[in-house]
Amino acid sequence: MKHVPLRPALSTLPPYVPGARVPVGAAAYKLSSNENPYPPLPSVVAAIADAAVDVNRYPDMYATELTEAVAGHLGVQPEQVVAGCGSVAVLGHILAAFCDAGDQVVYPWRSFEAYPIAVTLAGGESVQVPVRADGRLDLPAMAAAVTERTRVVLVCTPNNPTGPAVHADELAAFLAAVPRDVLVVLDEAYVEFVRDPQAPDGLAVLAEHRNVVLLRTFSKAYGLAGLRVGFAVADARLAAGIRAASTPFGVSHVAQLAAVASLRAVDELLDRVQRIVGERGRLLAGLREQGWQVPDSEANFVWLPLGEDALRFAQEATAAGVLVRPFAGDGVRVSVGEPEATDLVLKVTSGFRR
């Protein structure tokens, strides 16, 4: 019997593994998905409620009010901003706009686990460059991996799941080495949490390099993970191409109004970010006092390079009431949550036998 064939690429497509969820009726801290531990601000909740009465209508296809608000916040032109259903969807639109079947996409590994999925679905060929032992991206090796077949390079900064951000000088050297007709995507999903003085100013890099695209999200610092809204910032010509490849009506009306309300309350939200940064520092300091060697983190998570012990640690953490994200054979990513969650994580790490 004949069957309708699926694309061969799907047989090798790596699954996206979501962070573990708290079982119904259970009590545990969910530190497995890099979520903001704080609920939406009252002003954002009010915007969501107002938007809910219009869900029988299609949203603004181009998210005009939102792109104008983002542009005003960042100091760019509205035509440079492309909104999408989370930064993962925007990444897919970028690859659709710039990659043909068989084109190569260079990215670090381990890094964001959606990269190999997005590249494969776009028909591209993944070129993975190992992250250094200290969790930092090896930008010279990534530049050396660029060939005539390379169309896009993904630079995750801070890198998910290891935590460090790239430095301005190494990024400048990298961009000087990459051909101008290769697109460089700076995935800055966690940029609001960066405090490293050596980290680059993505907007300044964008202004200087027309082959750079910034990828950002409202999921992390702004706490809108459940509404799925992200955006790209690029040269207007490149942005037009990404917009043409975007899913029509991809950002819901509710998400658009919630994101606009979040930008209006940005100072209050960034105060929450600073509290998370402080808790991140307390978690890193506590781990190092216990003798753990962990990379510096500029995001809202920390990385435990546990190798083959990753799954065992995650099981012990779950039993203690805290859900973390293990990457089998590599390590464990622990999101920064409430102070009580930090206390519990440090209790688990203090008793864990490596």
Residue 9 has pLDDT above 90, yes or no: no
* DSSP-assigned states of every residue in 17-70: -PPP-PPTT---EE-SS---SSPPPHHHHHHHHHHHTTTTSPPPTT-HHHHHHH
Q: Which pair of structure tokens corresponds to residue 180?
A: 């101008």
pLDDT given at position 7: 86
- The mean pLDDT value of the chain amounts to 95
Residue 210 has pLDDT above 50, yes or no: yes
320 CB-contact burial (10 Å; exposed 0-12 / middle 13-18 / buried 19+) = middle
pLDDT given at position 24: 45
Rounded to an integer, the average pLDDT of 273-291 is: 98
Residue 120 has pLDDT above 70, yes or no: yes
State pLDDT tens for residues 63-102: 999 999 999 999 999 999 999 999 999 999 999 999 999 9
State pLDDT tens for residues 283-293: 999 999 999 99
CA gap 71, 243 in Å, rounded: 15
> Which residue blocks in the chain are alpha helix, DSSP H?
42-52, 64-74, 86-98, 114-121, 139-144, 168-177, 202-208, 236-244, 253-264, 266-289, 310-320, 339-351
Residue 25 has pLDDT above 50, yes or no: no
Q: Residue 194 carries which DSSP code?
A: -
State pLDDT tens for residues 313-343: 999 999 999 999 999 999 999 999 999 999 9
Could you tell me if 282 and 342 are in contact, meaning their C-beta atoms sit under 8 angstroms apart?
yes
Q: For the chain, what is the radius of gyration of the CA atoms?
A: 20
Bridge partners (DSSP) of residue 237 are none
Fold match flag (8-38+265-350 vs 42-263): no
Terminal C-alpha separation, the chain: 53
Q: Which pair of structure tokens corresponds to residue 167?
A: 């430095």
Considering the four listed CATH numbers 3.30.460.20, 3.10.129.10, 3.30.930.10, 3.90.1150.10, the one that applies to the domain covering 8-38+265-350 is 3.90.1150.10
Considering the four listed CATH numbers 3.20.20.120, 3.20.20.150, 3.40.640.10, 3.40.50.300, the one that applies to the domain covering 42-263 is 3.40.640.10
Q: Where are the domains of the chain?
A: 8-38+265-350, 42-263
Angle between helices 266-289 and 253-264 in degrees, nearest 10: 80
Q: Which pair of structure tokens corresponds to residue 279?
A: 């808790």
pLDDT given at position 6: 85
